[in-house]
Chain A
Amino acid sequence: MKRLVAIVEDEPAIRDNYAAAFTREGYAVRTYANRAQAMDAFTARLPDLAVIDISLEDEPEGGFELCRQLRALSAELPIIFLTARDSELDAVSGLRLGADDFLTKDLSLPHLIARVNALLRRVDALRKPNTPGELVRRGALTLDAERMQAQWDGQVVLLSLTEFWIVHALARHPGHVRNRQQLMDAANVVLDDNTITSHVKRIRRKFQGIDPKFDAVQTVYGMGYRWVE
């Protein structure tokens, strides 16, 4: 059965382009231009994954509202925010509302599809709890590449997809400095330095939420970051 991807986007050209790409990748695609349409459809049937634009027609922040409503319908449904905005505030509020990833529209379609695939893989993996995936262990850190899940001292750290891939890229080769370009490549994103910095900051904060003494992600000023065990 084809996975159903819902695209909520008010710009028809983009919507259609995305739809074409997902269709080509073998997904069933439904597209909606505004929140009401989308919500009507979602209450009837939940998609397997939703790509939501933040500003929808006459609602500048309609995407957030839709995300909240969708999250109320399903806790596991992967939600990707896609926006022309790239402000830090939007990213933070989007992720806080329970989105799995927050992407700007300058992301290329192959990158987007890779993420969608990854997220759906993770959903699948989480549904099969007993199959151990490829695990990376670095001290207290355990990374499950299959489920795209990170654990610290046995506790799950809730990372967005981008964050998981950044941690993954760093922890795979501890001590090696990963510059920002490498991190972006690993995370399948195109971001500027400040966005990388805030991602790293958020990652640290999430780990420190579990272990206040967490200090494994080090900044190498002017170069990048490295994982220290």
Chain B
Amino acid sequence: MSLRLKLLLLGLATLVLPWGGCQYAREMESALREGEENSLQAVSQTIAASLQGRTDLLYRESLPPADAPDTPTRGASGHAFLQSGPYDLRPLALTAAPLLDGYSDDWPRDPSAWAYFAKDDRHRFAILSGVYERMLYLLLEVRDEHPLFDAPGTNTLDPATFGDRVWLGFEDSQGEQRAVFLAATGPGAVTARRIETGEYGQQSAPLEPRIHGAWQTMSHGYRIELRVPLSMLGNGFGVLVDDRDARGADPLSYGTLRSDDLHTLGRLIVAAPELTSYLAQFLQPGLKLAVTAPSGRVLARADALGQVTGLGPGTPILARLYRRFVDRPGTRALLESSAPIYDRDHTGVIGKLEVTQTANRWIRLRDHALMRMLNFSLSTSVVAVTLMFAFAAWLALRLSRLRQASESALTRTGLVTSFPDTDSRDELGDVARGFSTLLQRLNEYTSYLRTLAGKLAHEIRTPLTIVRSSLDNLESEQVPPSARVYLERARQGSERLNAILIAMGAATRVEEAIGSAERISFDLVPVLESAVAAYRGAFPERSFGPELPAEGVVIRGAPDLIVQMLDKLIDNAVDFSAAGALIIVRLRLDSQAAVIEVDNPGPALPAHVQGRLFESLWQSRAGANSQPHFGLGLYIVRLIAEFHGGEASAANLPDGSGVRFAVRLSR
């Protein structure tokens, strides 16, 4: 894992900040929610208390006189409206007015809200009722195998024209029994008429204009949708269906009205229209108030939930994103609270107040804080990660620079004098300084090694001179012939020592020669030709194959040094090849350089010597030659190659049969 990656991961650890922020936001949210729930509870209790005993509002039942004593008949939960009679109608609190078209699709889908009345299997009907804004809506579905409309005509009182008819019977607000009938000559709008008997007994059927409706046939029957103003209605209400199988026939009457006098049997248990406006005064945006009967039926509601848009299009994308991380799944977006509504005596429950509040209010609050916090912490994280990454990159850069410098310092024998980053005051600077010091010492050591041979030669020369001059003097003395053998041996030994000394000083002298060499322009080809001719004489046991270009190759340099360099290469090639071997001396040209190559058959170079061959005092292979050898030959080759702006290299021949030394000389 790279340093960059590690520090990047470390930087990612700062993401714990926003994570912690989210946790905090959640804590804050639940605290807010709790507080909000408490206050909502208080609100609902307050409103419920204000509704205590208001059966006039909840059920349109008149209040008992304030001074009326408690009657035993109306004991605990003994309110008449709370007892469910079979013919009672309990309208739903509708949230929207159904369209009066005779179809049921805009009514709530609530099977339990339907009331059913059956004469027998073939004669039954179902009523769904609802209240919306001071209007009672009725949906009446009558099962009838033979639906029959009135005959078209103008006289609705002519019994011969009678088809299926429906009676509505109700108590008006004064408690008078009233009835209207609905008759239609075809599908569509239907009108209600009441039957009035005139002074002289003549009957008329004036239109009841306040009642609107529509009549549609359906399979096995018909459906009627009606709207009646609540102001027309008192407590009693009922429906009677006159089912006729033929026009003018005697009807089969059934329903919730007495069939003889159309007297109501059941009650209409519905909240006063004022209840809604009463609730509305407590309404705030984001709040929904509902009053329900103990049975759970909604009597009235005031709804302003939609007025607060939680996730409207205006919500910033960032906030939506954050919310995804913070919102716990399953958290309700609504707060609900309820409080029972007691009767006047606080003995019975006459209803329940339900208050619902959208979570939006505190979600907004939370979102605001969350946004700020997340923005802060995330940008902190981003900055931290970026800084760490940049820092890591910088460190890695410095490290790689150090590495490169140390590598190049170690591979080149001419050690680097300057090391990067040594001015930094941090630990890397220390490392660089350490390296620099190390290299400096290495440099001193290497140069000491390099000059060691020369110094050694110099130091040995004096005692050797003593030995040799003594031997020279001894020659002139009277030495017995038996001792002369030893004298000769001592002389041979000192000559060899001298040869060694000369070899040891060779590199120093070459360096000096290079220092004083003059560059001239000369043609390499004749120089090499001449040199190869000389090698043929010097090494009769090897054959030489010069491969030289036909035309001249002019370079700038010192021909003496070039020949000296070639001498060393040939010495090397001769050392490591067997007698009779063919040594190839090649001169080829490439784009910027003249390349001298010397190929010799022989053992391949071991891999570890690559790159070290041309160092001073480095000897890779024991040569066959007994001449003193200090690993300076190839070092001299390198010195001369570098003097000519080139470089020396060694490689095994592609077929592995030998070794190729190449020297590039810049042209």
A residues contacting B by CB (< 8 A) are 11, 13-14, 17-18, 20-21, 24, 84-89, 104-106, 108-110, 190, 192-195, 197-198, 219-223
Instruction: Determine if B465 and A86 form an interchain contact, defined as CB atoms under 8 angstroms apart.
Output: no
Known A88-B512, A221-B563, A222-B531; judge A109-B469 contact (CB<8 A). yes
> Is B535 an interface residue, CB under 8 A from the partner?
yes
> Is B205 an interface residue, CB under 8 A from the partner?
no
Closest to B567 in A: A222
Q: Which of B472-522 contact A (CB under 8 A)?
A: 472-473, 476, 498, 501-502, 505-506, 508-510, 512-513, 516
Instruction: Determine if A222 and B533 form an interchain contact, defined as CB atoms under 8 angstroms apart.
Output: yes
Give the contacting residue for B469; candidates A21, A88, A190, A219; CB below 8 A. A21
Instruction: Determine if B513 and A86 form an interchain contact, defined as CB atoms under 8 angstroms apart.
Output: no
Residues of chain B with a CB closer than 8 A to A20's CB: 473
Instruction: Determine if B458 and A85 form an interchain contact, defined as CB atoms under 8 angstroms apart.
Output: yes
Instruction: Determine if B566 and A222 form an interchain contact, defined as CB atoms under 8 angstroms apart.
Output: yes
What band does the interface of chain B fall in when counting residues whose beta carbon is under 8 Å from A? 35 or more
Q: How far is the CA of A108 from the CA of B469 in the complex (A)?
A: 7
Instruction: Determine if A109 and B472 form an interchain contact, defined as CB atoms under 8 angstroms apart.
Output: yes
Residues of chain B with a CB closer than 8 A to A197's CB: 513, 560
Instruction: Determine if B462 and A105 form an interchain contact, defined as CB atoms under 8 angstroms apart.
Output: yes
Closest to B526 in A: A221
Residues of chain B with a CB closer than 8 A to A104's CB: 461
Show 22 A/B contacts (Cβ-Cβ < 8 Å), sorted by A: A14-B469, A17-B469, A17-B473, A18-B469, A21-B473, A85-B458, A86-B509, A87-B509, A88-B512, A88-B513, A106-B461, A106-B468, A106-B498, A109-B469, A192-B509, A194-B513, A220-B534, A221-B531, A221-B563, A222-B530, A222-B535, A223-B533
Instruction: Determine if A106 and B564 form an interchain contact, defined as CB atoms under 8 angstroms apart.
Output: no
Give the contacting residue for B472; candidates A17, A87, A221; CB below 8 A. A17
Residues of chain B with a CB closer than 8 A to A11's CB: 462, 465-466
Instruction: Determine if B472 and A106 form an interchain contact, defined as CB atoms under 8 angstroms apart.
Output: no
The 6 closest A-B pairs by CB, nearest first: A222-B534, A222-B531, A109-B472, A17-B469, A105-B465, A221-B530
Closest to B512 in A: A88
Instruction: Determine if A219 and B462 form an interchain contact, defined as CB atoms under 8 angstroms apart.
Output: no
Q: How far is the CA of A221 from the CA of B516 in the complex (A)?
A: 19
- Candidate in A106, A194, A222, A223 with the most chain B CB atoms within 10 angstroms: A222
Q: How far is the CA of A52 from the CA of B516 in the complex (A)?
A: 26
Q: How many Å from the CB of A27 to the closest CB on chain B?
A: 14
Q: How many Å from the CB of B7 to the closest CB on chain A?
A: 56
> Is B257 an interface residue, CB under 8 A from the partner?
no
Known A14-B465, A222-B533, A222-B535; judge A192-B472 contact (CB<8 A). no
Q: How far is the CA of A193 from the CA of B566 in the complex (A)?
A: 14
Known A17-B466, A198-B513; judge A84-B458 contact (CB<8 A). yes
Instruction: Determine if B508 and A221 form an interchain contact, defined as CB atoms under 8 angstroms apart.
Output: no
Q: How far is the CA of A152 from the CA of B272 in the complex (A)?
A: 148
Residues of chain B with a CB closer than 8 A to A13's CB: 466, 469-470
Residues of chain A with a CB closer than 8 A to B509's CB: 86-88, 192, 194-195
Residues of chain A with a CB closer than 8 A to B113's CB: none
> Is B559 an interface residue, CB under 8 A from the partner?
yes
Known A84-B458, A197-B560, A198-B516; judge A223-B466 contact (CB<8 A). no
Residues of chain A with a CB closer than 8 A to B526's CB: 221
Closest to A106 in B: B498
> Is B92 an interface residue, CB under 8 A from the partner?
no
Q: How far is the CA of A190 from the CA of B528 in the complex (A)?
A: 27
Q: How many Å from the CB of B644 to the closest CB on chain A?
A: 15
> Is B252 an interface residue, CB under 8 A from the partner?
no
Q: How far is the CA of A84 from the CA of B463 in the complex (A)?
A: 10
**1/0 per residue B558-597: CB within 8 Å of A?**
0110011011000000000000000000000000000000
Q: How many Å from the CB of A32 to the closest CB on chain B?
A: 17
Q: How far is the CA of A87 from the CA of B532 in the complex (A)?
A: 30
Q: How many Å from the CB of B340 to the closest CB on chain A?
A: 120
Question: Beyond A106-B464, A198-B513: 20 further Cβ-contacts under 8 Å?
Answer: A14-B465, A14-B466, A17-B472, A20-B473, A86-B505, A86-B509, A87-B509, A88-B509, A88-B512, A105-B465, A108-B472, A109-B472, A192-B509, A193-B564, A193-B567, A195-B509, A220-B534, A222-B530, A222-B534, A222-B566
Instruction: Determine if B466 and A190 form an interchain contact, defined as CB atoms under 8 angstroms apart.
Output: no
Known A221-B534, A222-B530, A222-B567; judge A194-B510 contact (CB<8 A). yes
> Is B438 an interface residue, CB under 8 A from the partner?
no
Residues of chain B with a CB closer than 8 A to A110's CB: 472
**1/0 per residue B521-562: CB within 8 Å of A?**
000001110111111011000000000000000000001100
Closest to A193 in B: B564
Q: How many Å from the CB of B132 to the closest CB on chain A?
A: 121
Residues of chain A with a CB closer than 8 A to B566's CB: 222
Instruction: Determine if A220 and B530 form an interchain contact, defined as CB atoms under 8 angstroms apart.
Output: yes
Q: How far is the CA of A191 from the CA of B70 in the complex (A)?
A: 148
Known A192-B506, A221-B527; judge A109-B473 contact (CB<8 A). yes
Residues of chain B with a CB closer than 8 A to A106's CB: 461, 464-465, 468, 498, 501-502
Q: How far is the CA of A104 from the CA of B460 in the complex (A)?
A: 13
Q: How far is the CA of A192 from the CA of B472 in the complex (A)?
A: 22
Residues of chain B with a CB closer than 8 A to A24's CB: 473, 476
Q: How far is the CA of A105 from the CA of B501 in the complex (A)?
A: 12
Q: How far is the CA of A110 from the CA of B502 in the complex (A)?
A: 20
Residues of chain B with a CB closer than 8 A to A195's CB: 509
Instruction: Determine if B532 and A14 form an interchain contact, defined as CB atoms under 8 angstroms apart.
Output: no
Known A222-B566, A222-B567; judge A89-B512 contact (CB<8 A). yes
Residues of chain B with a CB closer than 8 A to A84's CB: 458, 461-462, 465
- Candidate in B508, B509, B526 with the most chain A CB atoms within 10 angstroms: B509
**1/0 per residue B374-392: CB within 8 Å of A?**
0000000000000000000
Closest to A18 in B: B469
Q: How far is the CA of A223 from the CA of B566 in the complex (A)?
A: 13
Q: How far is the CA of A198 from the CA of B564 in the complex (A)?
A: 13
Q: How far is the CA of A106 from the CA of B559 in the complex (A)?
A: 29
Q: How many Å from the CB of A72 to the closest CB on chain B?
A: 28
Q: How many Å from the CB of B334 to the closest CB on chain A?
A: 103
Q: How many Å from the CB of B626 to the closest CB on chain A?
A: 18
Q: How many Å from the CB of B249 to the closest CB on chain A?
A: 147
Instruction: Determine if B516 and A88 form an interchain contact, defined as CB atoms under 8 angstroms apart.
Output: yes
Residues of chain B with a CB closer than 8 A to A223's CB: 530, 533-534, 537
Give the contacting residue for A14; candidates B462, B476, B501; CB below 8 A. B462
Q: How far is the CA of A220 from the CA of B531 in the complex (A)?
A: 8
Q: How many Å from the CB of A214 to the closest CB on chain B?
A: 15
Known A86-B509, A197-B513, A198-B513; judge A192-B469 contact (CB<8 A). no
Instruction: Determine if A190 and B498 form an interchain contact, defined as CB atoms under 8 angstroms apart.
Output: yes
Residues of chain A with a CB closer than 8 A to B530's CB: 220-223
Closest to A53 in B: B462
Q: How many Å from the CB of B376 to the closest CB on chain A?
A: 75
- Candidate in B465, B506, B512 with the most chain A CB atoms within 10 angstroms: B465
Q: How many Å from the CB of B440 to the closest CB on chain A?
A: 26
Instruction: Determine if B461 and A87 form an interchain contact, defined as CB atoms under 8 angstroms apart.
Output: no
Residues of chain B with a CB closer than 8 A to A17's CB: 466, 469-470, 472-473
Q: How far is the CA of A52 from the CA of B59 in the complex (A)?
A: 144
